[in-house]
Structure 1
Amino acid sequence: MSSALPPLVAPGPPLTPDQVARYARHLALDEIGEVGQRRLLASRVLVLGAGGLGSPVLLYLAAAGVGTLGIVDDDVVEVSNLQRQVVHGTADVGRRKVDSAADAVRGLDPHLEVVPHAVRLGPGNAGGLLGAYDVVVDGTDNFPTRYLVDDVCAELGRPWVWGSLQRGHAQVSTFWSRPPVGEGVGLRDVFGGPPSEGTVPSCAVDGVLGAVCAAAGAAMAIEVVKLLCGSGRTLLGRVAVHDAFAGTWQEVPVRRAQGRTDRAVPRAGTAPDRGAGPGSAAGADDLATLVAAHAAGAVDVVDLRDAPEASAHPLPGVRAVPLAQFVTEQMLASLDPDRPLVLVCRLGARAAHAAALARAAGVRDVRHLPGGVAAWRLAAQDRATATPDAAVRGA
């Protein structure tokens, strides 16, 4: 996806003297300039979620001069949010997030239009909400919403910018089913369908480094600016993977899945089609078989934990490849597409993300462990204590 995309928005009216002064650093950039700034001021961007990702996205898009910012969130500010959701302050605890975030945006620039939507996005309202904006930014933390956004934006022909966080890791990309130039790519091309409920732990369970939200949110805001202005090379067709603790950014190319067609938006009250997941989540019965297959050398098992985690609690006989190294283009290209692959991390979130990327890279049989290293270790112990005959049968 190296072709430049045309700007999404026509330029607005000439800049006022105050706007020339405010956006002077943008005006000095060939990639934005006076015309690009007028495009930003004329644009409408919808940000889904005023949380860890939505906070930096909102602040930087407001500072950049995006003329209309819509904010969708039905939650209230809690004290545990303040570690990473920097658009809110201590005095905002208990307030609706859309109100707190709107006040912060207006504090940056009172001339911008802020539209709070204190609702939960669903099949019944998604089309109307998303269709009223030029670009959608998804900063939510749940799979049903992400896949709904992917389907609705595909139907509307809208581009959307996606980000995901876990611990010290982040992934960012731009999806657009029908871009005016080049091949379209959607969330389903990378991750297939949503994972089964409970197979990927949330940030509340697995934790997240607050500052990694800023890194990912800034990258997402940059994507929006590039789309609106038609400048630079977007992440359409690429997933940027950040490992904050390793201090690395890696790029994983993705293409439209062969034979995939855009899905119709599910009607209100209907269950979404889960489709094919990002590699299979191994269940309890599968795990025993996989442990036996690994002992027989029939599958490749990779431990994605960072070096300190893996060295403190190693998995005997399992190949250790930290996530930051695994997601490099060279590593993914080196995987044998015909050899079954099992991915494991501490709790399962990193393994699920890596399984999607391995699947996109062409590995046909990819498994990830929702229970993480504890589940693998327990299954290995059960096999070790089994009778010899049972062990032979399991292999």
Structure 2
Amino acid sequence: MGSSGPAPSGSVIPEDRLRPLSAADRRRYSRNILVPEVGFVGQQRLRAARVMLVGAGALGSPAALYLAAAGVGCLGIVDDDVVDVTNLQRQVLHTTPEAGQAKVDSARRAVEALNPDVEVVAHRVALTSENALDALAGWDVVIDGTDNFPTRYLVNDACVMLGVPLVHGAVFRSDGQVTVFDARRGPCYRCVHPMPPEPGTVPTCAEGGVLGVMPGIIGTMQATEALKLIIGGARPLVGRMVLLNAWSGRGGELPVDKNPACPVCGDNPSITELIDYEAFCGTRPSGAESETDRGESTMDEITAADLRRRIAAGHDPGSTYTLLDVREPNEVELDAIDGSLRIPLGEVVDRMGELDPSRETVVHCAVGVRSARAIEALTAAGYTGTLTNLVGGMRAWNESGIT
């Protein structure tokens, strides 16, 4: 690892918020206090700190546990999801009996069981352009534990506007990365990623998988960066990004420069208020209705429940319609709908001759995004048959089969 980057920084915690440590604090956090870089003052800063976790999933799990164990005074958690058994391979905040329960409730119980001295402020909401500034205001550090591009851009922009340092982490399969975005003295997320990738070109963990220990490593590194920002005197990863591949056991460091022309943190920002991030990232299929739009979607859709009813009535795939699965082969190996024609998204236009335009084709993927892109690509290529998108993809299909 290189040693370039900003000089060691001061704490983000104002000195007037520090309070003396009790005898119980001194005992509980004695191993922290014995570290010369922490000491009594560093532990006081931790007890005075307010850290917000955006996401109580794979990255948020280790971050929450280690921040709570370290004695962070107040831990905020924002997440609108529920615990699913597929989460438990990596989301160590949650347990099997909590499947189906709100993640923020499960996270609160885990944190309070580990350290009842920590105040937990939990919000079971999805961050939006309407609530993000209010939700993230007043926190000393924000940790990004999200897994989708619209929320990453939203959290970044909100943190820039609020002047709050953002600890970024991301994982995919056995790869991970960590950095600190602090627009007051370095780059922001948009400086590194001015534009989002084309929808469907970057698989999610649900589509591509993730080695279970990988978010444990990266989330713990995010917690470390938060501790460094709180305690002070360290060299945080501002202007530097650490990359790690756990499978090869190799890592590296990349310099990350501030972009003077960045639209949100540059010299003359053009984005001064939060925008529609789903539209910006293109995750809402063309013609689909947004929360503020009126009118109907121009793309034909079918729900998983309706498709099940169609099959139950004797209309199996291959009879009067085609069921097209555009996921990758390794995804299909895990689960598939019987009778599906399997053509990955990247091959669907070249192989559209395998489709029968005289019959309806119901297209599906993992969650409904790639299938929508497949429909758009086929339509643009001149396919004349009826194309219908399975809303929610295999996730909705599997959920609709639970009785």
Distance 1:93 1:196, change over 3 A: same
Which residues in structure 2 correspond to 1:269-308 (within 5 Å)? 273=280
1:2 deviates by 2.6
**Corresponding residue for 1:223?**
225
Where 2:244 maps in the other structure, the secondary structure is: strand
Which residues in structure 2 correspond to 1:321-340 (within 5 Å)? none
Which structure has the larger Rg over C-alpha atoms?
A: 2
1:231 deviates by 2.7
The residue type equivalent to 2:6 in the other structure is: S
Distance 1:63 1:33 in 2: 16
8 Å CA contact 1:106, 1:112 repeated in 2: yes
With the length of structure 2 as denominator, give the TM-score of the two structures: 0.66
Q: Deviation digits for residues 114-165 of structure 1, max 9, x if unmatched?
A: 0110000010000011112111001010000000111111111110001101
Matching of residue 27 in structure 1 with residue 33 in structure 2: yes
Q: How many residue pairs align between the two structures?
A: 280
Distance 1:159 1:102 in 2: 24
Matching of residue 169 in structure 1 with residue 175 in structure 2: yes
Where 2:108 maps in the other structure, the secondary structure is: helix
| % identity of equivalent residues | 45
Distance 1:142 1:2 in 2: 29
The residue type equivalent to 2:182 in the other structure is: W
Q: Deviation digits for residues 205-263 of structure 1, max 9, x if unmatched?
A: 11000101111011000000000111311111011111000112210111012422425
The residue type equivalent to 1:53 in the other structure is: L
1:272 deviates by 5.3
Distance 1:44 1:26 in 2: 18
8 Å CA contact 1:98, 1:117 repeated in 2: yes
**Corresponding residue for 1:240?**
242
Structure 1: runs of 5+ lacking an equivalent: 276-345, 348-370, 380-395
The residue type equivalent to 2:188 in the other structure is: G
Which residues in structure 2 correspond to 1:295-374 (within 5 Å)? none
Matching of residue 44 in structure 1 with residue 46 in structure 2: no
Structure 2: runs of 5+ lacking an equivalent: 283-327, 330-343, 352-403
With the length of structure 1 as denominator, give the TM-score of the two structures: 0.67
Matching of residue 189 in structure 1 with residue 191 in structure 2: yes
The residue type equivalent to 1:96 in the other structure is: A
**Corresponding residue for 2:255?**
253
Matching of residue 153 in structure 1 with residue 159 in structure 2: yes
The residue type equivalent to 1:89 in the other structure is: T
**Corresponding residue for 2:100?**
94
Partner of residue 202 from structure 1, selected from 197, 201, 204: 204
Which has the larger helix fraction?
A: 1
Where 1:63 maps in the other structure, the secondary structure is: helix
1:100 deviates by 0.2
**Corresponding residue for 1:58?**
64
**Corresponding residue for 2:371?**
none
8 Å CA contact 2:137, 2:162 repeated in 1: yes
